[in-house]
């Protein structure tokens, strides 16, 4: 017999009002109703709720806008089989579904026992509520396999962190074939749209959108790192209901810098499930008796204010809870990087000459890139030998660093610790230290191989090398690069059954090295870089201060890339360089002002060859860097509004950053090309105090000051700038203008 179809919306519309017996323990935002067996977390404008049904399954109930304290977010019930082919286990929206007991949907956990059984049925056992949130303990119905589900919600933004810990308390090993951090569930709707970020080298951060319909969408990296191809972020809104500044958006990001996977399914009955964690491709983890394996953290949030509201929540959450130093972290300094000026041809006189020029325009940090170490004269040799090349620097780095600091800048250095060239002293001494498989070729990319950080000896060696480098030199900053993905991910130190643990151990040891290095050197700052934007995620960002989004520094290309980046990550970590024109990527010619305005929307850097600049270039750069410093806090710590998107071939791009206290706003306007004297719409601002008065000042753009004065009032209310708008007509190709509004 087949059961009748059931209405399975996750949101229970019946309200029990004030009679709900909520009991709050240590956390003001985490509660448990013992009468209904419902857990609830509240933060910001969000409520997340789940419960235990009469079968002992932990069941999703509600994820959305914040409910009133007396509202009941749903009732956990035992859902009957939908039919003989869709059993109760699969149609119940479980918080952490394990493969077993008739499960057909994407599982969060899949294990194998030594007797060949691959069935796991988890049931609620206990819970605890603490200052940190809610922890729920599950157990298999007859094996001593336990899973601890952890829930932590940020009080200000309502962003939820979920993770899971699997514990083997049996007397034999078990093999974990799949482990996710969480399963997230959305109610039945017919108009969901999925947004996600894809790319390749020099073309990262492409924002994709598609209807979320029946079937599966898989976002993943099998590359051993976060990867250029997909980023572990998603957002789901409703077509025709949601927009940039209105309507519901559910979003999430996985905090893991190794191989990962996020699967988004709409099951046959319409429920959307999102499962994210370790990538099960080539994954197997033998868990010995008494051992545990912890998942990454899957962060998830909700906004009722469109994609713009969702990204502002993410930015605020990252600044508060993810990035080193939190809200007390220093602002990103204006830096100069020597790569495009010298490439591998670095030496002390050449770097000093560049530093002296950089200091004249207001640069605060001088970074020497590749080529300073070992036999590093090209990309075929030297990686792994992190000792100063004495031909290029006869007296070590100290004379250069002293000169840089004497010019009022701090000093930074490029490193790529996880890599090695075959032509290096390190590889000749330790060829067994690279990722490889017995009897198989050792694939190279960019003439280099990947060191196996999963090995304890490799981990300890790299920490010592980096610690010595920073201890013996006054280095304030490391640009930490990673220029190729994995291949042949073997680990022949381990038993065959344990070699695939490399996928977890490598990334854990990477995190350990960076964390320990920063513990020993608390003032050291680090940039995550991986052939451009190949390793940007909420895992690596907990221990690095900024991110390099792409090796592509074309200022026009960067508009769409920075737009995509800003959907998932904060402008405060987004580094953007002003480089030479024509740019090497597209041979496109743009003005220096245009290049600066494109880069000033994040952390500003300069990477041009200053030896080729004219006096007018230095004057322009000095003026615009000084202007940037007056708006830097607003750009890096403010609320970002994407007023006109550059996506989908748009001719214009306009962003606005508003300081948290609404005292200042920085407006950046760009046009690709004007045609036929077509008029341009006014730019209606957002996020200002409507009752306050703001003075408008144009500081960059063709005839910017004259046009702004002629076409706009010098001062007006926030309401005027938001309802009427700013008139900024730009004529020509690749034109840009910069404005500041200050509250008076």
Enumerate the active-site residues: 481, 551
Distance CA 1, CA 618 (A): 81
Please give the angle made by the CA atoms of 358, 364 and 367, to the nearest 5 degrees: 70
- 477 near 518, Cβ under 8 Å? no
- 128 near 135, Cβ under 8 Å? yes
> Coil, strand or helix: which one is 491?
coil
479, β-bridge pairs: 414, 527
Task: Name the nearest CA neighbour of 550 among 618, 486, 598.
Answer: 598
Q: Where are the alpha helices (DSSP H) in 40-145?
A: 88-91
Distance CA 456, CA 505 (A): 10
**Tally of CA atoms within 13 A in the half-sphere of 319 that contains its CB:** 25
Distance CA 368, CA 508 (A): 28
Q: How far is CA 131 from CA 25, 46, 51, in A?
A: 8, 18, 20
Which residues have CB under 8 Å from 403's CB, separation 6+? 352, 355, 356
Distance CA 100, CA 476 (A): 52
Distance CA 97, CA 277 (A): 13
113 phi, psi to nearest 5 deg? -100, 165
> Coil, strand or helix: which one is 98?
strand
297, β-bridge pairs: 255
Between helices 615-637 and 348-360, what is the axis angle to 10°? Answer: 70
Distance CA 208, CA 202 (A): 17
Q: What is the DSSP letter of 1?
A: -
User: How do strand 335-337 and strand 365-368 relate by DSSP bridges?
Assistant: parallel
Distance CA 139, CA 514 (A): 35
């Amino acid at each position: 017999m087949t059961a009748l179809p059931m209405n399975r919306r996750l949101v229970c519309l019946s309200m029990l009002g004030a009679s709900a017996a909520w009991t709050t323990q240590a956390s003001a935002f985490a509660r448990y109703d013992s009468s209904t067996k419902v857990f609830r977390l509240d933060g910001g404008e969000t409520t997340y709720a789940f419960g235990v049904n009469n079968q002992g399954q932990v069941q999703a109930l509600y994820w959305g806008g914040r409910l009133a304290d007396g509202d009941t977010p749903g009732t956990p019930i035992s859902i009957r089989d939908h039919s003989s082919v869709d059993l109760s286990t699969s149609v119940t929206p479980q918080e952490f579904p394990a493969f077993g007991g008739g499960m057909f949907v994407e599982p969060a956990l899949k294990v194998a026992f030594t007797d060949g059984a691959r069935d796991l049925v988890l049931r609620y056992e206990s819970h605890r509520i603490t200052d940190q949130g809610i922890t729920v303990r599950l157990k298999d119905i007859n094996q001593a396999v336990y899973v601890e589900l952890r829930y932590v919600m940020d009080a200000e933004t309502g962003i939820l962190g979920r993770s899971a810990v699997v514990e083997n308390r049996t007397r034999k090993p078990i093999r974990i074939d799949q482990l996710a951090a969480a399963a997230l569930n959305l109610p039945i709707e017919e108009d969901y749209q999925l947004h996600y970020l894809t790319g390749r080298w020099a073309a990262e951060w492409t924002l994709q959108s598609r209807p979320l319909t029946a079937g599966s969408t898989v976002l993943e990296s099998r590359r051993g790192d976060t990867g250029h191809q997909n980023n572990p972020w998603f957002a789901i809104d409703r077509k025709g209901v949601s927009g940039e500044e209105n309507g519901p958006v559910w979003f999430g990001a996985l905090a893991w810098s190794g191989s990962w996977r996020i699967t988004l399914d709409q099951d046959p009955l319409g429920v959307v499930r999102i499962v994210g964690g370790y990538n099960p491709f080539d994954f197997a983890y033998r868990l010995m008796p008494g051992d545990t394996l912890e998942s990454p953290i899957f962060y998830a949030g909700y906004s009722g204010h469109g994609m713009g509201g969702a990204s502002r929540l993410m930015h605020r959450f990252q600044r508060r809870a993810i990035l080193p130093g939190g809200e007390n972290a220093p602002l990103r300094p204006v830096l100069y990087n020597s790569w495009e000026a010298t490439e591998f041809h670095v030496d002390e006189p050449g770097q000093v000459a560049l530093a002296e020029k950089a200091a004249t325009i207001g640069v605060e940090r001088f970074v020497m890139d590749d080529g300073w170490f070992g036999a590093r004269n090209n990309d075929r040799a030297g990686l792994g030998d992190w000792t100063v090349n004495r031909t290029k620097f006869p007296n070590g780095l100290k004379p250069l660093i002293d000169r840089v600091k004497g010019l009022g800048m701090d000093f930074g250095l490029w490193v790529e610790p996880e890599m090695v060239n075959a032509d290096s002293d390190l590889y000749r001494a330790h060829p067994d230290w690279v990722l490889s498989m017995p009897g198989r070729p050792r694939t190279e990319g960019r003439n280099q191989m990947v060191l196996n950080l999963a090995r304890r000896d490799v981990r300890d060696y790299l920490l010592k090398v980096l610690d010595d480098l920073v201890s013996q030199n006054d280095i304030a900053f490391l640009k930490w690069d990673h220029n190729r993905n994995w291949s042949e991910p073997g680990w022949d130190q381990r038993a065959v059954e344990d070699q695939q643990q490399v996928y977890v151990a490598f990334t854990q040891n990477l995190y350990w090295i960076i964390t320990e290095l920063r513990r020993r050197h608390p003032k050291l700052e680090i940039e995550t870089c991986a052939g451009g934007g190949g390793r940007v995620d909420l895992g690596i960002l907990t221990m690095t201060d900024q991110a390099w989004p792409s090796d592509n520094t074309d200022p026009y290309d960067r508009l769409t890339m920075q737009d995509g980046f800003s959907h998932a990550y904060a402008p405060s970590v987004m580094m953007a360089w002003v480089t030479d024109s024509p740019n090497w990527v597209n041979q496109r010619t743009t003005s220096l002002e245009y290049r600066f305005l494109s880069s000033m929307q994040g952390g500003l850097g300069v990477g041009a060859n200053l030896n080729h600049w004219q006096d007018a270039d230095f004057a322009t750069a000095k003026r615009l860097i000084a202007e940037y410093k007056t708006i830097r806090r607003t750009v890096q710590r403010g609320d970002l509004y994407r007023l006109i998107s550059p996506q989908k071939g748009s001719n214009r791009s306009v962003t606005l950053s508003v300081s948290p206290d609404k005292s200042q706003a920085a407006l950046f306007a760009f046009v690709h090309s004007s045609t036929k004297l077509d008029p341009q719409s006014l730019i209606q601002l957002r996020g200002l105090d409507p009752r306050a008065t703001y003075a408008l000042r144009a500081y960059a753009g063709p005839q910017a000051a004259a046009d702004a004065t002629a076409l706009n009032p010098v001062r007006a209310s926030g309401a005027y700038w938001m309802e009427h708008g700013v008139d900024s007509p730009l004529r020509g190709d690749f034109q840009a203008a910069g404005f500041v509004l200050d509250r008076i």
